[in-house]
Structure 1
Amino acid sequence: MADFDKPSSTEEEYFAREDIEKKRKLALQQAEELAAKRREELMQLHYMKCPKCGMDLQTLSKGSVEIDTCFNCHGVWLDAGELESIIKQGPEGGGKVMGAVLNLFKRK
Structure 2
Amino acid sequence: MSDLTPDKPSHNEDDYFAREEIEAKRKLALQQAQETAAQQREDLKKLHYMKCPKCGMDLQTLKQGNVELDSCFNCHGVWLDAGELQHLLGGHGHEQGGKVMGAILNLFKRS
**TM-score scaled by length of structure 1:** 0.92
Distance 1:105 1:87 in 2: 19
Query: Are 1:26 and 2:23 matched, yes or no?
Result: no
Q: Secondary structure, in 3 states, of the residue corresponding to 1:5?
A: coil
Map of 1:64 onto structure 2: 66
Query: How far did 1:97 drift?
Result: 2.1
Verify: 1:99 aligned to 2:102, yes or no: yes
| Superposition deviation, residue 99 in structure 1 | 2.3
Q: Percent identity?
A: 71
Stretches of 4+ aligned residues off by more than 6 angstroms: none
Note the 1:69-88 alignment, pairs <5 A: 69-88=71-90
Measured on the aligned residues, the alpha-carbon RMSD in Å equals 1.4
CA distance in 2, matches of 1:59, 1:93: 22
Give secondary structure in 2 for the equivalent of 1:67: strand
Cα offsets for 1:18-69 (capped at 9, x unmatched): 0110000000000100000000000110111111100011111101111111
* Structure with greater helix percent: 1
Q: For residues 69 and 10 of structure 1, what CA distance do their matches in structure 2 show?
A: 66
User: Which ranges of structure 1 fall in alignment gaps of 5 or more residues?
Assistant: none
Give the alignment's TM-score, normalised by structure 2.
Answer: 0.90
Tell me, what secondary structure is at the counterpart of 2:6? Answer: helix
Q: Shift of the alpha carbon at 1:96?
A: 3.3
Q: Which runs of 5 or more residues in structure 2 are unaligned? A: none
